[in-house]
Structure 1
Amino acid sequence: MAYYQNKEVKFMEKKKVVIGLSGGVDSSVAAYVLKEQGYEVIGLFMKNWHDTTGLLESDCPWLEDRFDAMSVAKKLDIPFHFVDLSEQYRARVVDYMFSEYEKGRTPNPDVLCNREIKFDVFLDKAFELGADYVATGHYCRKETIMKDGQEYHRLLAGSDTNKDQSYFLCQLSQQQLSKALFPVGDIVKPEVRRIANELNLITAHKKDSQGICFVGKVDLPVFLQQKLTSKKGKVFLIDNDSDLYKRDWQQAIDNPTDEVLEELSKPFMFHPKYGKKVGEHGGAHFYTIGQRKGLNIGGFPEPLFIIGTNIDYNQIYVGMGKQTPGLYRQVLKVDKDELHWIRPDEKLKVGESRRLQIRIRYRQPLQEGIIHRREDGMYVVFDQPQRGIAPGQFAAWYVEDELIGSGVIS
């Protein structure tokens, strides 16, 4: 039964690992793998959210998750601890979400949760328990190398390409990675389920969590109304053949000057004069670029998609059909203060350019493009137009299967 029974343990002295037992199958099997590798394993469950406002069907109740995590710890014969981090989670993740949506931006709370909670506050709690490392059930891998006499930790995509979660860790630092272990990173999901089933773990057939990290699936407008006020506004339809879309994207490839990159990286500047009113909404800050559901506007040959918002005037702009040009851009910008390099030795200097692979959301296939480092930040020029680029999202760039840096789209 032991998945790692023939694998050599590469240390003489038993190391202590605190694993974040979430009550899901991935962290459950990760704890088992660590035990098989010879570590002293401690389970630690985090309570990060308990407010049910906006939750759909009471999804992801923390009490049930805690019970499942306790059951797994008992089954694996490892100590179990509980910590309440809900105050820190609200301050560092949820309040950030509210602030970003209020500005008309699209945040990714899962990325912040990993940077601010799982590998920061949780890390401190793990050290209080005497941990040498912390572990999670993320589908990604870590490799440590020596380069020019310096030790570097590489963040690699998970072996299961369908479950690779490296994108969610795109804001981690070398210090955080130095203490991180990802025990299921080289196992595919069906094998994780099989191991859990053979061990008769309570989480073996439990559905994967969805929605906001530690919160669950939410009715976003209802959830955001805890702090953001509803305000009726107008929805305008922009014609797909509008002059707004007449941008020469090829310039960014053939002639990537500072001026060209800056101009082409700007979002489309929509205005009511370019379209017609087709409905009303309850608050522009409740919506994001690329969204289709929630508008409740019918009567058109094809579905309407949000292509832009104006928070100052509380306006929403939509385009018709999946191929509406308002959804597609080929250039984006990351301001210099928002640049983050997991591998500082791979950092580009001002004036340098490099061909890499990039993604702007989880599960998006890696896209080919060139990054250009400039004085005011970094520009990403994709080989092909990208759908649904939104301010506030994280762009992450890779060298083959290694994630080397990321930044917030401006």
Structure 2
Amino acid sequence: MTTVRTVVGMSGGVDSSVAALRLREAGEPIAGLFMQNWADDGSGDCRAEDDRRDAVAVCGRLGLPIHFRDFSREYWDGVFAHFLAEYAAGRTPNPDVLCNREIKFKHFLDAAHSLGAEFIATGHYARVERREGRHRLLRAADRSKDQSYFLHQLGQTQLAATRFPLGELLKVDVRAMAQAAGLPTAAKKDSTGICFIGERDFRDFLARYLPAREGEIRAVAGDGRPDGRAIGRHAGVFYFTLGQREGLNIGGVRGFDAAPWYVVGKDVARNVLYVDQGTDSPWLRSQALWSETAHWIAGSPPARRFACTAQTRYRQPDEDCEVQVLDDGRVQVRFARPQRAVTPGQSLVLYDGEVCLGGAVIAATDAPLEQHLKVNAA
């Protein structure tokens, strides 16, 4: 009996399918593992069973054994409870980052080791490089699909045991390889939505766990005062995020131009949602941020002060910045130019060229409305 050296996380999508295909073609002794991480609550189109069938079909096509694990309890405790707490506090979390750290590169890795494997492999678009005794997380060759942003919480132990077979490939080539190999997922649409929960009406889904609490929508004043007049009602401030345009249901308002409205702030304590017109509203602009405790992939920061580039949201172009590591492990970041809609709860991810240095959850910014609300709350 051949010993399995690598277990591939089979999601039922084309990316994990081709990751398994590449390893098998390289002669690697592998097996697949399908993770169930969400107990369907009937709130939407959860496609876990379809994905499970596709994962089984792909492994059958490749002649691979497949294992199954239910991590739904671990997902609830380690990811979803935090997700809800952050939204209830008025912040906007990134569950994909926590899901990778807590599920895919913790419980899945433990499961692979229990099966006697040395490595895990996933369909993420990223690369791992070993240099001078340390492992580095690099951006993928296909920058439009690069997922290092979501992997920045990984450390040396995880990276040493991880393979990303798609890191050097373009997405179009992945599709072509799946088609040429006759894989049943070759034309399957990429998954979107919340990690492992799938596509559904987000507000309806969130309302099952955070009941709606109606409040005022207020327009910021044009004279520099944030407290303008009430122009509408919202169902709950935690349903919205900074910079959001959709779902406000604000029609024509007397005294204002017929221009789109955007969320520029949330006062959770008073249950007020602040909006302004124009995508470049000054209320959305910030040039500095402060984080929670930072995670460094190398185990420590490159210096107490250093220059690098940063992303404060996925697929954002690199932004030049200066980083100061504070005594308590948090970071203060000042950008070379003002940033739009930097959002507490989201992830700050730092880069040195192709190398992902690590990152942290954004705690606060110097955006004018955020500072005003902080002073009023004090």
Contact 1:73/1:79 (CA < 8 Å) preserved in 2?
yes
**CA deviations over 1:334-385 (Å, ceiling 9, x no partner):** 13xx21101125443xxx3211010011111111111122335311111111
Q: Indicate which of 77, 95, 109 corresponds to 2:63.
A: 77
Does the 8 Å contact 2:243/2:279 carry over to 1? no
Equivalent residue in structure 2 for 1:284, among 237, 245, 257 = 237
Distance 1:312 1:53 in 2: 31
Whether the aligned pair in 2 keeps the contact of 1:50 and 1:61 (CA below 8 Å) is no
- 1:111-143 deviation line (CA, Å, top 9, x unaligned): 000000000011111111111000100000000
Q: Is 2:297 the counterpart of 1:342?
A: yes
What is the deviation of 1:243? 2.9
Partner of 1:179: 161
For residue 54 of structure 1, report the CA deviation from its aligned partner: 4.2
Give the SS at the match of 1:358: strand
In structure 1, the partner of 2:376 is: none
Q: Is structure 2 residue 271 aligned with structure 1 residue 311?
A: no
Query: Which residue of the other structure, out of 16, 23, 26, is the alignment partner of 1:27?
Result: 16
Instruction: List runs of 5+ in structure 1 lacking aligned partners.
Output: 1-12, 245-269
**TM-score scaled by structure 2?**
0.91
Match of 2:259 in 1: 302
Q: Is the 8 A contact 1:53 1:222 kept in 2?
A: no
Please give the secondary structure, in 2, of the residue aligned with 1:234.
strand
Letter in 2 for 1:275: G
Partner of 2:309: 357
Question: How much does 1:49 deviate?
Answer: 1.4
- Identify the residue that residue 260 of structure 1 maps to in structure 2: none
User: CA deviation digits over 1:13-54, x for unaligned, max 9?
Assistant: 986100100000000000011112221110000111142554
Q: How does 1:119-134 map to 2 (within 5 A)?
A: 119-134=105-120
Equivalent-residue separation in structure 1 for 2:181 and 2:270 (angstroms): 57
Q: In structure 1, how many angstroms separate the alpha carbons of the residues matched to 2:84 and 2:337?
A: 32
Calculate the TM-score normalised by the size of structure 1.
Answer: 0.84
**SS of residue in 1 equivalent to 2:193:** coil
1:65 matched to 2:51 = yes
Letter in 2 for 1:243: G
Matched residue SS, 1:130: coil
Match of 1:162 in 2: 144
In 1, Cα distance between the equivalents of 2:107 and 2:274? 40
- Mapped pair 1:193 → 2:175: yes
| 3-state SS, counterpart of residue 324 of structure 2 | strand
What residue in structure 1 maps to residue 94 of structure 2?
Answer: 108
The whole-number CA distance in structure 1 between the counterparts of 2:87 and 2:251 is: 26
Which whole-Å CA distance do the structure 2 matches of 1:72 and 1:33 have between them?
13
Q: Output the amino acid matched with 2:295.
A: H
Q: Does 1:152 align with 2:109?
A: no
| Structure 1 partner of 2:201 | 219
State yes or no: 1:370 paired with 2:322: yes
- What is the letter of the counterpart of residue 40 of structure 2? D
Moved more, 159-168 or 225-234: 225-234
> Does residue 243 of structure 1 match 2:224?
yes
Q: Quote how far apart the aligned CAs of 1:169 are.
A: 0.3
1:75-101 CA-to-partner distances (Å, cap 9, x unmatched) read 011101111111111111111110000
Distance 2:74 2:130 in 1: 30
Q: Is residue 381 from structure 1 mapped to residue 338 from structure 2 by the alignment?
A: no
